[in-house]
């Protein structure tokens, strides 16, 4: 299991999901000459250039009631708070590992080469399905009945 812990100071950001493999997944100090997305005034669409290639981006809002989090794993393990009745339960209980919140976001951008990613693009669809799964597992039964009708 994982548990989130806020860092002393967290910032707000807009993550970008690029259509390429970059062997780095940390923060980047960008200069405007290297990364300067331009937003279409009529819609939530963006255009940028990465290594000379045109990228088109779709701004995706995190659903209301949710907040995106950029987190880093830590070496900390949180001790279990519940008492187990039998020794068998103690052996099967998984340790809770701590993640430290680095930033939060209310939207993110999914980029495609030369074309705008479809609304049902795999990453966007995965986020939507993950939220539906989380609501099914942790939501109350009344809200689940409304979503299935």
Q: Do both 30 and 56 map to the same domain? A: yes
Residues spanned by the domain of 136: 119-149
Whole-number average pLDDT of the chain = 81
pTM equals: 0.73
CA dihedral 53, 50, 127, 122 (to 10 degrees): 20
CB-CB contact of 109 with 60 (8 Å): yes
Paired with 56 in beta bridges are: 47, 112
88 within domain boundaries: no
> What pLDDT sits at residue 140?
66
- With tokens 């701590």, the residue in question is 98
Quick: pLDDT tens for 7-49.
778 889 999 998 888 888 777 777 777 788 999 887 779 999 9
123 within domain boundaries: yes
Quick: pLDDT tens for 71-81.
988 888 887 66
87 within domain boundaries: no
Q: Do both 39 and 104 map to the same domain? A: yes
Q: Do both 29 and 101 map to the same domain? A: yes
- Residue range 44-56: average pLDDT? 90
pLDDT over 90 at 143, yes or no: no
CB-CB contact of 57 with 39 (8 Å): no
Q: What is the CATH number of the domain that holds 20?
A: 2.40.128.680
- With tokens 């993110």, the residue in question is 108
């Amino acid at each position: 299991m994982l548990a989130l812990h806020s860092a002393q100071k967290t910032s707000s950001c807009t993550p970008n999901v690029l259509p390429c493999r970059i062997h780095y997944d940390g923060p980047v100090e960008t200069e405007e000459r290297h990364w300067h997305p331009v937003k279409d005034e009529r819609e939530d669409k963006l255009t940028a250039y990465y290594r000379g290639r045109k990228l088109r981006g779709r701004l995706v809002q995190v659903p209301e009631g949710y907040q995106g989090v950029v987190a880093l794993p830590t070496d900390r393990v949180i001790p279990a708070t519940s008492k187990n009745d039998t020794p068998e339960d103690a052996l099967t209980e998984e340790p809770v590992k701590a993640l430290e919140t680095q930033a939060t976001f209310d939207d993110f951008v999914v980029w495609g080469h030369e074309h705008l990613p479809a609304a049902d693009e795999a990453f966007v669809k995965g986020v939507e399905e993950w939220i539906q799964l989380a609501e099914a597992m942790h939501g109350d039964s009344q809200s689940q009945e409304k979503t299935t009708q």
